[in-house]
């Protein structure tokens, strides 16, 4: 039964619609016509989210945040290490992609014969952002705090037996083991030099009881207590970090007046750079930038991180994986070129367990090439019928836009071609990490990013080393190799010829047999506005922000 005054009701309806339309129009005018509030001093930046004009003094960097803290003694992830690399100074530093460190707060250093004691001479003119000079006491405080806080990065300082300051400008570091890589180690962001007085005033503590006594993290997450090119202007852990140029910096002035890190998921970063609402993006993968359009500059290079496959050497875990013939089959069954192609432009095959950006790496022509016949023959020799292995990898972790799943699937189809069947077993990072540490994985797919870009870290792949124990490869397993590893461990960092020779020997042996299969280094791609200049990759800090500038 129809109401006979539906027309009247309709008039009501039409009026309502009209009201809404007028409201929407008013809103649109209000939003578009207004200029956003802007802090003064940001010269050149235009209104709202219009693209920043050429030569702007503000750099907006779109990053997928994984930051947990900006306290150098607590941070252990990428965003934090890049940011602190320009908030703080260090004894030594890596400039751009140079494989050996250069002096920063230290003018020079001397190593004792046994590579155990290092004496650093500090420069006299370095000052913190509050004007006070940088002295050896600050270095001692920072290093002791790093070690005694027992936070995630503390293991880096585990080998330091003592840090002393005989006078204002000298620091003596005594290691418990010979550590030729120390100059590279102290160049990492975790060894940043803090303003001891300021940090102590705000709850900092470097004593043995620092675990309980130190409360400085909150302070350091809001204010930087350093001597770097930039100071920390704002910190909102999940959305925004603002850096302001340090006008009293003792060294080369900062390239921008402000750097703003904005939390943007990887999939949107390129869109923002193309649109101009951001000028720098670091998390992209080569396949993502393939069809990019617009005023975008792409800088590519191989990453220092490399992917590798592992096979368990414990027969109890997997007789198949531990079999040396199966291992040979894997080694020669992988199609390395195909993987590199998959990963994208700028990726390279890792020739040995040292990535191609580290001093002492193998030349590219010595890398393993695929040999299907050899792989099949090795598999036949093993005598195992229908060999099957489980490949475990983290399903929720991506590196440079590359997901482990993608690589695992490709490996599966490659090894299937030589007759080895892989069953993929993805899991959340926490679980797979647990299995990996427990030595329970049959085959594992992992990445290695060195703590410091010196070759010594990679000796963890030697029998008995950190990586080797994960596949149950104990120290006594291979005497010759262990000998070569020990020799390499003692090579001083500035002797490039000896580095090449000793580390070359280790890598060659590992390439002949062993449970590790280095795969590739993914490409790093940086997408930036075309007017951002001097983008250089860094082994330590991913991108050397200290060098960045604009036209």
Within 138-197, the residues that bind other proteins by CB under 8 A are 150-155, 158
Is residue 222 close enough to count as binding other proteins by CB under 8 A?
no
* Least distance from other proteins to the Cβ atom of residue 122, Å: 29
Query: For other proteins, which residue of 225, 260, 329, 379 counts as binding (CB under 8 A)?
Result: 260
Vertex 149 angle, CA 124 and 234, to 5°: 65
What's the count of helices (H) and strands (E) in the chain, helices before strands? 17, 25
The C-alpha atoms of residue 524 and residue 62 are separated, in whole angstroms, by 15
Give min distance, CB of 454 to other proteins, in A.
15
Contact with other proteins (CB under 8 A): which of 54, 161, 290, 369? Answer: 290
Rounded to a whole number of angstroms, the minimum distance from the CB of residue 403 to other proteins is 8
List b or e across 300-317, with b for residues whose CB sees 16 or more CB atoms inside 10 angstroms.
bbbbbbbbbbbbbbbeeb
Write down how long the chain is.
551
Strand (E) or helix (H) holding 343: helix 336-343
Q: Which is nearer to other proteins, 231 or 382 (CB)?
A: 231
Among 21, 22, 25, 31, binds other proteins (CB under 8 A): 31
> Shortest approach of other proteins to residue 517 CB, angstroms?
18
Give me 300's structure tokens: 């590519």
436 binds other proteins (CB under 8 A): yes
- Residues 6+ positions from 117 with CB-CB distance below 8 Å: 111, 172, 173, 174, 175
Cβ within 8 Å of residue 498, ≥6 positions away:
491, 492
Is residue 380 within 8 Å of 524, Cβ to Cβ?
no
Least separation, in Å, of the C-beta of 295 and other proteins?
15
Residue 296 binds other proteins (CB under 8 A):
no
Q: Residue 423 is inside which H or E element, if any?
A: strand 421-427
Give how many residues touch other proteins by CB under 8 A: 90
Cβ(321)–Cβ(375) under 8 Å?
A: no
**The tokens of 147 are what?**
């070690």
Member of 218, 315, 369, 388 binding other proteins (CB under 8 A): 218
Which strands sit side by side in the sheet containing 516-521, from one edge to the other? 348-349, 516-521, 306-311, 443-448, 388-394, 421-427
Does position 26 interact with other proteins (CB under 8 A)? The reply is no
Q: Which of 169, 172, 424, 477 binds other proteins (CB under 8 A)?
A: 424
Q: Select 406 or 472, whichever has its Cβ closest to other proteins.
A: 406
Cβ 378 to other proteins shortest distance, Å: 25
Give the residue carrying structure tokens 């290093």.
143
By CB under 8 A, the residues from 237 to 256 that bind other proteins are 237-240
Q: Which of residues 48-107 bind other proteins (CB under 8 A)?
A: 48-49, 58, 60, 68-69, 74, 76
DSSP state letter for 37: P
Binding residues for other proteins restricted to 458-497, rule: CB under 8 A = 466
Pick the closer one to other proteins by CB: 32 or 497.
32
| Given 10, 54, 161, 208, the residue binding other proteins (CB under 8 A) | 10
Sign of CA dihedral 506, 508, 511, 517: positive
27 near other proteins, judged by CB under 8 A: yes
Options 177, 337, 423, 434; binder of other proteins; rule CB under 8 A:
434
Answer for which of 133, 251, 419, 427 binds other proteins (CB under 8 A) is: 427
């Amino acid at each position: 039964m129809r109401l006979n005054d539906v027309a009247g009701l309709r008039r009501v309806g039409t009026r309502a619609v009209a009201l809404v339309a007028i409201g929407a129009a008013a809103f649109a005018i209000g939003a578009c016509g207004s200029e956003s509030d802007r802090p003064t001093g940001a010269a050149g930046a235009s209104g709202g989210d219009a693209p920043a004009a050429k030569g702007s003094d503000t750099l907006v960097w779109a990053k997928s945040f994984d930051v947990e803290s900006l306290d150098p003694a607590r941070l252990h992830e990428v965003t934090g290490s890049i940011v602190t690399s320009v908030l703080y100074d260090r004894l030594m530093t890596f400039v751009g992609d140079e494989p050996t460190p250069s002096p920063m707060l230290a003018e020079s250093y001397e190593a004792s014969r046994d590579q155990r004691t290092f004496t650093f001479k500090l420069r006299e003119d370095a000052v913190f952002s509050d004007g006070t000079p940088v002295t050896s006491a600050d270095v001692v405080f920072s290093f002791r705090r790093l070690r005694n806080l027992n936070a995630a990065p503390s293991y880096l300082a585990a080998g330091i037996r003592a840090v002393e300051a005989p006078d204002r400008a000298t620091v003596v570091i005594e290691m418990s083991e010979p550590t030729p890589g120390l100059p590279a180690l102290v160049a990492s962001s975790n060894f940043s030099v803090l303003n001891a007085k300021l940090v102590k005033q705000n709850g900092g503590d470097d004593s043995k009881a620092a675990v309980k006594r130190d409360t400085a993290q909150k302070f350091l997450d809001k204010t930087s207590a350093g001597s770097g090119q930039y100071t920390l202007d704002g910190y909102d852990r999940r959305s925004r970090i603002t850096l302001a140029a340090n006008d009293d910096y003792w060294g080369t002035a900062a390239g921008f007046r402000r750097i703003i890190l904005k939390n943007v998921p990887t999939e949107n970063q390129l869109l923002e750079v193309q649109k101009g609402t951001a000028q720098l993006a670091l998390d992209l993968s080569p396949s993502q930038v393939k069809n990019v359009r617009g005023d975008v500059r792409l800088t590519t290079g191989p990453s220092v991180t490399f992917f590798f496959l592992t096979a368990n050497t414990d027969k109890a875990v997997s007789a198949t994986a531990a079999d040396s013939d199966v291992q040979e089959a894997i080694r020669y069954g992988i199609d390395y070129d195909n993987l590199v192609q998959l990963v994208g432009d700028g990726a390279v095959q890792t020739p040995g367990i040292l990535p191609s950006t580290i001093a002492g790496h193998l030349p590219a022509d010595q890398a393993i090439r695929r040999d299907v016949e050899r792989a099949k023959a090795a598999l036949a020799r093993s005598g195992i019928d229908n060999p099957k292995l489980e490949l475990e990898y983290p399903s929720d972790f991506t590196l440079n836009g590359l997901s482990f799943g993608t690589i695992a699937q490709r490996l599966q189809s490659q090894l299937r071609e030589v007759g080895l069947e892989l069953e993929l077993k993805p899991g959340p990072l926490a679980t797979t990490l647990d299995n990996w540490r427990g030595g329970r994985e049959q085959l594992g797919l992992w990445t290695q990013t060195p703590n410091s870009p010196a070759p010594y870290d990679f000796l963890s792949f030697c029998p008995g080393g950190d990586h080797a124990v994960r596949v149950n490869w104990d120290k006594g397993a291979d005497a010759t190799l262990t000998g070569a590893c020990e020799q390499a461990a003692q090579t001083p960092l500035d002797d490039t010829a000896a580095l090449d020779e000793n580390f070359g020997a280790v890598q060659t042996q590992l390439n002949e047999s062993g449970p590790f299969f280095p795969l590739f280094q993914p490409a790093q791609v940086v997408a930036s506005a075309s007017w951002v200049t001097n983008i250089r990759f860094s082994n330590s800090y991913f991108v050397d922000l200290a060098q960045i500038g604009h036209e």
